Structure 1
Amino acid sequence: MTHSHHSAEHAHGGLGHDEHDDAGNVATERLQLRTVGIDVGTTTSHLIFSELPLERQGIRLSSAYTVTERRVVSRSEVTLTPYSSPRRIDTDALAAFIDRAYAQAGWTRDMVDTGAVIATGEAARKENAAAIVALFSEQSGRFVCATAGHHLEALLAAHGSGAVALSRSKETPLVLNVDIGGGTTKLAVCRSGKVIETAALDVGARVVSWDTDGNVRAVTPAGERVLRWAGARIAVGEIANRAALAITAEHVADLALAVAEGQALADEFWLTEPLRTRGRFKTLVISGGVGEYVNGNETREFGDLGKLLGAAIARRVAGHTVLRAVESIRATCIGASQYAIQVSGDTLFLTRPEMLPLRDLAAVAIHPDRADAKSIAQAVRSGIERLDRDDGKFAVAVRWDHGPAYAALRELCAGIRDGVRDVIAADRPLVVVLDADVAGIVGQVLQDEMKVRSPLVCVDQIQLSDLDFIDLGAVLPEKGVVPVVVKSLVFSER
């Protein structure tokens, strides 16, 4: 790692490396990382600066570090995302805002070990995302840059709000996270500590917006549909009628909470496939900008339906258990942890060494409950969709409980092949990361029996989860090992 702050450098006591006790046993190894989480959305942007102590037991080069604490050091103000034209983000103004946030935190860029830049909504559009990522090109190895489509944004919101952590409780094993922003509403079904399904609706606080004089500036296409449905009239350029705005907010609230109430919604309001989980959700977390009003953190108006919508949502959720979001408008990550390991030949299968290095591969995490090719393929496809990773920049990360028996591994390989047919057809690298000691067999079966001809790498004894990213370095010739860096998005509660 370029700038790892070992605990020996800080007032946290203990040696930085491989500390031994009197009996010669290996004690804990500690690291401390300074990390920054940067969220650039359609409407607002903000930064969070944190310190993350990490530790690992033992000195095996392949053992993982875990985050032991999350200390938020500084939070920037939440700013309106700057635009130079209606759909192009003003990266100069954004860079100036980021510089001010660093100065306010008392940090310089070279103090930062790791970071995560999350671009959502308009910011995730190709030309905007490329310009935002370019702001961090000097730190590219240390920063995870994720452009989030609807599914990944819903997943991030559910982790950031604490809904995923809350669903680990026996009292509330099923939680619906409703993240209501300016342009969209993101839904995530959380069960027993996992996000099992995500979707998005085309409604939010800015379906109607107006200037400081009350003149209507914009009505989105979704806003037009809501107005028709509500029988209300609001026209651009005219003074907004408060009664019409109020009735519009009531209808947007009905739409945003229809799923929570177990009601079906017209196809025209879905931005994704509708949620498959049916029925009324007893437990909700409301996050996003509108969540700030529902949770009592905000009372100001921003020239949109936010305040009216917050009040309408609060009235409607009276019959549900509403758990407070840990972070509402900041329902995003607070940064990234990372640790480096070395993977040796006996835990590695590699067909074309020249395919390395590969960076920022998102972990498509699967944990098959049975060795069945069809369900494994479906899990892989769902994982790729959940992370919006149709660009092929992912690693299939397998937690495998079904042993080294050939018949079971053959089912696994068939499932992986069928789940990633697009990657294979495009001759993109196929990366498989396994927690069990089976990389050699899996690689062999994929190549020889499943006829995978695209570049292939299988690595084992590494366990990855959703929202982890992995870098695979070039093979170090003198040692025959591959350096691996695992980066994980970190949330207040993750």
Structure 2
Amino acid sequence: MKNFKRQEILSVGIDIGTSTTQLIFSKIILENLASSFNIARIAIIGKDIMYRSKVYFTPLTLDDRIDLENVIEIIDYEYKNAKIDKKDIAIGAVIITGETARRANANEVLHKLSGYAGDFVVATAGPDLESIISGKGAGTDKISKDMNAVVANIDIGGGTSNLAVFDHGEAITAGCMDIGGRLIKLDETKEIIYINEKIKKIIENENLNISIGKQADEKEISKLAKIMVRQIEAAVGVCPKDQYYNMMLTGKDMPLKKPIQYITFSGGVADVVYHQHDNEDVFKYQDIGVILAHEIKHSIIFKELHVMEPEETIRATVVGAGSHTADISGSTIEYDESILPIKNIPVVKIPTDLNKEKIDFDKELAKRIEWFRIDGKQQKIAVSFEGTPSPSFKQVEAYAEQLISGMKEVINSKHPIIILVENDMAKALGQTIRRMLGRKYPMICIDSVKAGEGDYIDVGNPIAGGVVLPVIVKTLVFQ
């Protein structure tokens, strides 16, 4: 472990979206930044994309389910083409996004595909998380950090538009709207064969000449697209919200804490926003994506905000999934390897004001843990708190006593103790809890990880010679 200097691990990202399915393979480089006389301090110093798959149309069955057999064929082919074996993948993410996440067999597909991303896999379709992943994959967080500015990314796909806002590189707002290029579908003759239910309501209210069985009319669909774009304009704060705004939200509203200064677009529709061609067939993809892109290009967003082109457009979500979902823990940690990997564990956050001066939070922690009792049964949870930099032995003991007292129901239910500390104190805290509970009690105590109320975490198998653990904090809801 002392000799550990650098390690390269393989990561995969698999995105099954409303319109497209694609993969990327990335090389993630870990390095020990500490001198030979210090405790190991492992950091991710590089993330390089090694291989990008073709972009496939997401295969669906006649009854509108995900065609699992065809999806597996695509993935197997791309693994073979990339000359990568499944067992060589250390970490990864499989995500089902957009309207595809609402297919009846979405969870079954995630379960079947988990083996393609190693033992450590994110399998989620949360729209807010997808927004952050695509924003990072587009490189919008880096633009925000480099420019010290508030920058939004809008990832517009086939079924949804995902908004993520970054301030100085940190995600501050995320949300999703049911606006996308395939909410109306056509056949080869340009006859309309599908209209999304929300879109049907707008068509009816606005008396637009658009219906299933009719030939697609560019002028009528442009009127509809203008209304769809108005909802995006309202979301980024350049126009008032109208009567359709709340209806088009996928989940909760996304209040802007600060005015947006710059904006980027990603997703399949974004490719057309940035690279439109004169006299192109607006229905060449058998949907309304090209017309939607055209209306975005001529919207007030381009007049009111500084529009920038990101590093990635159509591949933003899969690049984010493969390269930007995983982080690593600190190097002074305590864990039982037998309970790893763990996935989808909800986080209970101890408020910062309760662990600053006076360490006295057991009752508040117990109350919050009660939120995760289902049908009288206590669920597994992870406890997150800030902790103290360079704590004394007495402070560590006080933290351990309060955690054990507050987690009484978790311990009575024989669930492992999972603790995330922001400050560097996990090893001492973990060893103290072991001394109090007994060496055999299963636990994970890791530091250098920041997670909040409403987050979920995945923790993978040890890497870098067992010094660190890969961690994904899945922020599903931004308050």
Query: Which range, TM-score by smaller chain?
Result: 0.7 to 0.9
Check the 8 A contact 1:133/1:145 in 2, yes or no. no
1:49 is the counterpart of 2:35: no
Paired with 2:273 and 2:85, the residues of 1 have a C-alpha distance of: 36
Q: 1:180 to 1:74 in 2, by over 3 A?
A: same
Q: 1:158 to 1:363 in 2, by over 3 A?
A: farther
The aligned residue for residue 327 of structure 1 is 312
Paired with 1:153 and 1:147, the residues of 2 have a C-alpha distance of: 9
Unaligned ranges ≥5, structure 1:
1-16, 20-27, 385-390, 449-454, 474-481, 490-494
Q: 1:30 to 1:217 in 2, by over 3 A?
A: same
Check the 8 A contact 2:203/2:224 in 1, yes or no. yes
The CA deviation at 1:51 is 2.4
Q: 1:206 aligns with which of 182, 191, 194?
A: 182
Q: Deviations over 1:101-142 (max 9, x none)?
A: 22332334344443322222354457323334323437641x
Paired with 2:431 and 2:296, the residues of 1 have a C-alpha distance of: 51
The CA deviation at 1:57 is 2.4
How many equivalent residue pairs? 434
Check the 8 A contact 2:42/2:331 in 1, yes or no. no
Q: 1:262 to 1:249 in 2, by over 3 A?
A: closer
The aligned residue for residue 469 of structure 2 is 485
1:88 is the counterpart of 2:88: no
Letter in 1 for 2:77: R
The CA deviation at 1:307 is 0.7
The aligned residue for residue 137 of structure 1 is 115
Q: 1:133 to 1:327 in 2, by over 3 A?
A: farther
Q: 2:223 aligns with which of 236, 244, 247?
A: 247
Paired with 1:422 and 1:238, the residues of 2 have a C-alpha distance of: 61
- Spell out the pairing of 1:119-138 with structure 2 (5 A cutoff): 119-125=96-102, 127-137=105-115
SS of 2:61's partner is strand
The aligned residue for residue 374 of structure 2 is none
Letter in 1 for 2:149: P
SS of 2:317's partner is coil
Q: 1:129 to 1:442 in 2, by over 3 A?
A: same
The CA deviation at 1:308 is 0.8
Unaligned ranges ≥5, structure 2:
357-363, 372-377, 474-479
Q: 1:61 to 1:396 in 2, by over 3 A?
A: farther
SS of 2:256's partner is coil
The aligned residue for residue 183 of structure 1 is 159
Check the 8 A contact 2:341/2:458 in 1, yes or no. no
SS of 2:469's partner is strand
Check the 8 A contact 2:99/2:159 in 1, yes or no. no
Q: 1:312 aligns with which of 288, 295, 301?
A: 295
Q: Deviations over 1:435-473 (max 9, x none)?
A: 33167769999xx9xxxxxx9845144435789741378
The aligned residue for residue 478 of structure 1 is none
Q: 1:69 to 1:372 in 2, by over 3 A?
A: closer
The aligned residue for residue 131 of structure 2 is 154
Paired with 1:176 and 1:422, the residues of 2 have a C-alpha distance of: 42
Q: 1:416 to 1:78 in 2, by over 3 A?
A: farther
Paired with 1:263 and 1:411, the residues of 2 have a C-alpha distance of: 49
Q: 1:109 to 1:395 in 2, by over 3 A?
A: same
Paired with 1:421 and 1:284, the residues of 2 have a C-alpha distance of: 47
Check the 8 A contact 2:18/2:157 in 1, yes or no. no
Check the 8 A contact 2:355/2:387 in 1, yes or no. no
Check the 8 A contact 2:17/2:58 in 1, yes or no. yes
Check the 8 A contact 1:285/1:324 in 2, yes or no. yes
The aligned residue for residue 436 of structure 1 is 424
Q: 2:235 aligns with which of 245, 259, 262?
A: 259
The CA deviation at 1:282 is 2.7
Over aligned residue pairs, what C-alpha RMSD do you find?
Answer: 4.7
Q: 1:356 to 1:104 in 2, by over 3 A?
A: closer
Paired with 2:414 and 2:62, the residues of 1 have a C-alpha distance of: 38
Q: Deviations over 1:380-424 (max 9, x none)?
A: x9xx9xxxxxx9777445444577488999899999999x99989
1:296 is the counterpart of 2:275: yes
Check the 8 A contact 1:216/1:238 in 2, yes or no. yes
Q: 1:231 aligns with which of 184, 207, 213?
A: 207
Paired with 1:156 and 1:416, the residues of 2 have a C-alpha distance of: 35
The aligned residue for residue 115 of structure 1 is 92
SS of 2:176's partner is strand
TM-score, length-normalised on structure 2? 0.74
Deviates more, 1:405-414 or 1:248-257: 405-414
The CA deviation at 1:232 is 1.1
The aligned residue for residue 477 of structure 2 is none
Q: 1:470 aligns with which of 427, 434, 459?
A: 459
SS of 1:67's partner is strand
The CA deviation at 1:44 is 0.9
Q: Deviations over 1:130-188 (max 9, x none)?
A: 334323437641x413212111111211211112222213x452112222221112122
The CA deviation at 1:214 is 0.8
Q: 1:409 to 1:472 in 2, by over 3 A?
A: farther
Q: Deviations over 1:327-368 (max 9, x none)?
A: 112112442597999988xx65x9xx8993452356969797
Q: Deviations over 1:1-48 (max 9, x none)?
A: xxxxxxxxxxxxxxxx855xxxxxxxx701122332111112211011
Letter in 2 for 1:359: I
Q: 1:239 to 1:364 in 2, by over 3 A?
A: same
Paired with 1:457 and 1:184, the residues of 2 have a C-alpha distance of: 39
Deviates more, 1:218-227 or 1:292-301: 292-301
Q: 1:76 aligns with which of 25, 40, 53?
A: 53
Letter in 2 for 1:152: L
Check the 8 A contact 1:286/1:325 in 2, yes or no. yes
The CA deviation at 1:235 is 0.9
Paired with 1:87 and 1:416, the residues of 2 have a C-alpha distance of: 49
The CA deviation at 1:326 is 1.6
Q: 2:248 aligns with which of 269, 281, 284?
A: 269
The CA deviation at 1:210 is 0.9
Paired with 2:69 and 2:82, the residues of 1 have a C-alpha distance of: 20
Paired with 2:26 and 2:192, the residues of 1 have a C-alpha distance of: 40
Q: 1:96 to 1:62 in 2, by over 3 A?
A: farther
Check the 8 A contact 1:116/1:336 in 2, yes or no. no
Paired with 2:235 and 2:412, the residues of 1 have a C-alpha distance of: 38
The CA deviation at 1:96 is 1.1
Higher relative contact order (CA 8 A, sep 6+): 2
Check the 8 A contact 1:371/1:412 in 2, yes or no. no
